[in-house]
Amino acid sequence: MTDAEYLAHIESAIQQIKAHTAGMSQEAYEADSKTQRAVERNLQIVGDAAHKLSKGLREAQAQIPWDDVYAARNVVVHYYFGVNQKIVWDILQSDLEPLLKAVQGLLAPGSRDAE
């Protein structure tokens, strides 16, 4: 797969997270295990795809915290019953939108980094 394909997977997974949590309060999210599992699965996809990006792209886009993205994936995968949903909620509120905008910028026509 190419960097552009991995970036498209990241974009899609973030869009799915946003769709699953649209209009939800933190309390509603924390009470909804089905939504939590959907979010966790999509965070796993985001982390897996980020980890598979080429070293060149990750270095060229060092302002994006790729290691943190992958670390979040590892927590969701390896600590599935110990995942702190308050932390996940904070990630959803603070970190996803900047990552989405960065990925969309890389996918934009004319961007050379995703080639």
Question: Known catalytic residues?
Answer: 73, 78
Q: Pull the structure tokens for residue 22.
A: 């649209």
Dihedral, CA atoms, 21, 93, 109, 16, nearest 10 degrees? Answer: -20
3-state SS assignment for residue 83: coil
